[in-house]
């Protein structure tokens, strides 16, 4: 792994960290979302408040993961020079581009509607971001809330999806992670790309920072190739179905129209968020949801 700079000299007041103990801290994890839907942890981002209305954002990249990611998965964090390879990046009394381009500004006309949709009765753009799955139009990055404390516990099936960078699971052996080869592949991918350490009962580190640095590139490439093969098979299947006259296109998602009309009314009245509306009608895509809503208006 290439060197990480921890003694970089700030160039201006915006990059000069505030000294002292912050009065308030809110923390998230930046994740890169692959086309196949997997989320890969790439950095921790903290919002810190100090006395006299001073604040700063701090980004701490997970370099052992980032270094193994191809450009198709991770192109950097907007507004930060990743080429500097800093241990920490600071933005002091300044809203970084990464935050500004994916959160509502104070001047937005529908600001309070947007805040209320996620249960906020005060303006806090970082907290708003942590309560949404908001992505900017020009990248594949999201931010999820980071726990204040890390977890060390015995491994249990289904627990991996809730673990975060720095958490540790204890196992008898790596074989305990899954019962099948495909399950093992999925579990190890989650462990490696989200910075979870695996430790044996005797205390031996089975998967840690060194292992991640060695495995990330291989595991992510395997996922990319697997998706490419799946899409190729799907295209071939569609072409064969067309030739046989059996292809009718994608089957429309069926939605209970009564429920759809109800959530549409509640959404217009600001009683529920778009995410809640989508959950109730069991639609996972916003574009599909809005298409169904538009179809209601044409009836």
Q: Which of 148, 145, 110, 107 is nearest to 128 (CA)?
A: 145
Percent of the chain with pLDDT strictly greater than 90 = 56
pLDDT 10s digits, 153-162:
998 877 888 8
- pLDDT, tens only, 107-126: 988 899 889 988 999 999 99
Please check the confidence at residue 247 and state whether its pLDDT lies above 70. no
In terms of domains, do 71 and 123 share one?
yes
Query: Where does a domain end: 249, 268, 288?
Result: 249
Q: Does one domain contain both 130 and 192?
A: no
What is the reported pLDDT for 231?
Answer: 86
Are the beta carbons of 192 and 219 closer than 8 angstroms?
A: yes
Q: Is there a domain that residue 79 lies in?
A: yes
Q: Evaluate whether residue 236 is within a structural domain.
A: yes
Q: Is there a single domain that holds both residue 203 and residue 275?
A: no
Instruction: Clarify whether residues 152 and 237 are in a common domain.
Output: yes
- The answer to whether residues 151 and 163 touch, using CB atoms and an 8 Å cutoff, is yes
193 is in which domain, residue-wise?
147-249
In a domain, 17, yes or no: no
Q: Look at residue 8 and tell me if it is in a domain.
A: no
Instruction: Specify the pLDDT at position 50.
Output: 96
Count of domains in the chain? 3
| Residues 37 and 63 both lie in one domain | yes
Q: Are residues 133 and 153 in the same domain?
A: no
- Please report which confidence band the pLDDT of residue 284 belongs to, taking 50, 70 and 90 as the band edges: confident
Which ranges constitute the DSSP H helices of 13-172? Answer: 63-66, 97-100, 111-117, 125-130
Do residue 130 and residue 156 come from a single domain? no
Q: Region 97-112: what's the mean pLDDT?
A: 91
Q: Is residue 194 predicted with pLDDT exceeding 80?
A: yes
φ/ψ of 239, rounded to 5, equals -65, -40
Domain boundary pick from 85, 110, 145: 145
Are residue 29 and residue 114 in the same domain, yes or no? yes
Provide the pLDDT for residue 108: 87
Query: Is residue 137 over pLDDT 60?
Result: yes
56 and 89 belong to one structural domain: yes
Instruction: List Cα–Cα distances, 262 to 64, 269, 281, in angstroms.
Output: 48, 11, 10
């Amino acid at each position: 792994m290439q060197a990480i700079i921890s003694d970089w000299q700030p160039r201006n007041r915006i990059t000069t960290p505030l000294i002292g103990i912050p009065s308030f801290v809110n923390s998230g994890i930046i994740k890169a979302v692959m086309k196949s839907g997997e989320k890969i942890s790439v950095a921790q981002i903290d919002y810190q408040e100090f006395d006299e209305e001073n604040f700063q954002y701090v980004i701490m990249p997970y370099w052992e993961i980032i270094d193994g990611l191809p450009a198709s998965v991770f192109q950097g964090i907007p507004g930060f020079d990743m080429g500097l390879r800093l241990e920490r990046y600071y933005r002091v009394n300044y809203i970084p581009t990464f935050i500004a381009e994916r959160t509502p500004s104070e001047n937005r006309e529908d600001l309070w509607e947007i805040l209320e949709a996620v249960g906020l009765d005060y303006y806090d753009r970082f907290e708003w971001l942590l309560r949404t799955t908001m992505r900017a139009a020009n990248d594949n990055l999201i931010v999820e809330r980071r726990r204040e404390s890390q977890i060390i516990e015995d491994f249990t099936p289904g627990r991996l999806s809730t673990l975060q960078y720095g958490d540790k699971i204890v196992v008898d052996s790596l074989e305990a992670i899954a019962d099948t080869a495909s399950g093992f592949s999925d579990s190890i991918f989650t462990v490696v790309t989200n910075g979870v350490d695996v430790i044996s009962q005797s205390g031996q580190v089975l998967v840690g920072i060194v292992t991640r640095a060695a495995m990330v590139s291989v595991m992510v490439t395997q996922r990319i190739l697997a998706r490419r093969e799946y899409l190729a098979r799907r295209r071939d299947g569609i072409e064969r179905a067309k030739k046989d006259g059996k292809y009718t296109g994608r089957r429309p998602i069926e939605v209970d129209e009564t429920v759809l009309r109800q959530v549409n009314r509640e959404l217009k009245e600001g009683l529920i968020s778009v995410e809640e509306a989508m959950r109730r009608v069991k639609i996972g895509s916003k574009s599909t949801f809005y298409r169904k809503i538009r179809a209601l208006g044409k009836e």
